[in-house]
Structure 1
Amino acid sequence: MFLQILNNWFVGSNKLERLWLLAKIEFKLRYYENKLGLFWALLKPIMDILIYFIVFQVVLKQDIPAFASWLFIGLILWNFFLESTGGTVQILNSKKFLYEYSNMNKLEIYVSTLLSNSIGFFFNLIMFLGFYYFIEPSSIGPHLYNLWIIPLFLNVFILSLGISLILSNIYIVAKDIAQVWQVFTAFLFFLSPIIYRLTTFKESLPSFEFANPIAGIIINARFVMMEGKLPNFELFIFDFAYAFFLLLVGLILLNKLGAKAAEKL
Structure 2
Amino acid sequence: MPRLSFFLPLAQRSLTLQFARREVLGRYRGSLLGLGWSFITPLLMLGVYTFVFVGVFKARWPGAEQSGGVEFAMQIFAGLMVFNLFAEVATRAPRLILDQPNLVKKIVFPLEILPWVTVLSGLFHLLLSAAVLLLAVAAIKPGALAPTMLALPLVLLPLLPVLLGIGWLFSALGVFIRDVGQIMNFVVSLSMFLSPVFYSLESLSEPMRDLMFFNPLTLIIENVRRILLHTQWPQWEALALYTLAACVFAWLAGLFFQATRKGFADVL
Instruction: Say whether the fold is shared (TM-score over 0.5).
Output: yes
Aligned to 2:178, the other structure's residue is in SS state: coil
Deviation at 1:48, TM superposition (A): 4.0
Counterpart Cα distance in 1 of 2:143 and 2:188: 31
Shifted more, 80-89 versus 227-236: the winner is 227-236
Listed one character per residue, the Cα deviations across residues 137-162 of structure 1 (whole Å, up to 9, x for unaligned) are 2762131x222211222222221111
Query: Conserved in 2, the CA contact under 8 Å of 1:149 and 1:224?
Result: yes
Amino acid of the structure 2 residue aligned with 1:33: G
- Report what 1:85 is aligned to: 90
Question: In the alignment, which residue of structure 2 is the partner of 1:103?
Answer: 108
User: What are the ranges of 5 or more consecutive residues in structure 1 without an aligned counterpart?
Assistant: none
Which deviates more from structure 2 when the two are superposed, residues 251-260 or residues 237-246?
237-246
Give distance in 1, aligned partners of 2:187 and 2:141. Answer: 36
State the match for 2:176 in structure 1: 173
Distance 2:249 2:54 in 1: 36
2:24 is matched with 27
Q: For residue 150 of structure 1, what is the aligned residue in structure 2?
A: 153
Alignment partner, residue 15 of structure 1: 12
Q: Percent identity?
A: 22
Matched, 1:140 2:137: no
* Structure 2 unaligned residues grouped into runs of 5+: 65-70
Amino acid in structure 2 at the alignment position of 1:86: T
User: What's the RMSD between the two structures over aligned residues?
Assistant: 2.5
Mean CA deviation greater in 245-254 or 35-44? 35-44
- How far 1:212 sits from its partner (Å)? 0.7
Change (3 A) 1:62 1:16: same
Question: What is the TM-score of this pair, normalised by structure 1?
Answer: 0.86
Alpha-carbon distance in 1 for matches of 2:213, 2:79: 17
1:167-246 counterparts in 2 under 5 A? Answer: 167-201=170-204, 203=206, 205-246=208-249
Q: Is the 8 A contact 2:98 2:174 kept in 1?
A: no
Query: 121, 124, 127: which is aligned to 2:129?
Result: 124
Deviations 1:49-105 (A, max 9, x none): 445445555444430232232222211111111112212220111123234237321
| 2:195–2:218 CA contact under 8 A, matched in 1 | yes
Q: CA deviation at 1:47?
A: 4.4
Letter aligned with residue 6 of structure 1:
L
Contact 1:159–1:244 (8 Å) recurs in 2: yes
Contact 1:74/1:194 (CA < 8 Å) preserved in 2?
yes
Contact 2:28–2:37 under 8 Å retained in 1: yes
Question: What's the CA shift for 1:118?
Answer: 1.9
Judge conservation of contact 2:149–2:228 (CA < 8 Å) in 1: yes
Distance 1:10 1:224, change over 3 A: closer
